């Protein structure tokens, strides 16, 4: 970076802190997104399995033939 002396003294540490915070925040955000996607996937599977179990229970109670 070609900055004048006094301006470089002020801006270079600020840019370093901003870049470092950006790198740390990026990892946190990606971890939260991964957790949310894993949770959503397991939730969808649980709902599908519960629908299957409920339909089998209904077939056992009402009989196998449809009316």
Q: What is the pLDDT of residue 53?
A: 94
Is-contact 51 43, C-beta < 8 A?
no
Residues, the chain: 67
Instruction: Give the pLDDT of residue 60.
Output: 85
Residue 67 has pLDDT above 70, yes or no: no
| pLDDT over threshold 90, residue 3 | no
Tens digit of pLDDT for each residue in 37-66? 999 999 999 999 999 999 998 888 887 765
Q: Of 6, 48, 53, nearest to 40 (Cα)?
A: 48
Query: Using one digit for the tens of pLDDT, what is the confidence trace for 14-43?
Result: 999 999 999 999 999 999 999 999 999 999
């Amino acid at each position: 970076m070609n900055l004048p002396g006094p301006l470089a003294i002020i801006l270079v540490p600020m840019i370093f802190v901003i870049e470092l915070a950006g790198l740390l925040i990026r990892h946190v955000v990606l971890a939260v997104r991964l957790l949310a996607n894993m949770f959503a996937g397991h939730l969808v599977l649980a709902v599908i399995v519960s629908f299957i179990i409920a339909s089998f229970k209904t077939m056992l109670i009402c009989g196998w033939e449809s009316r």
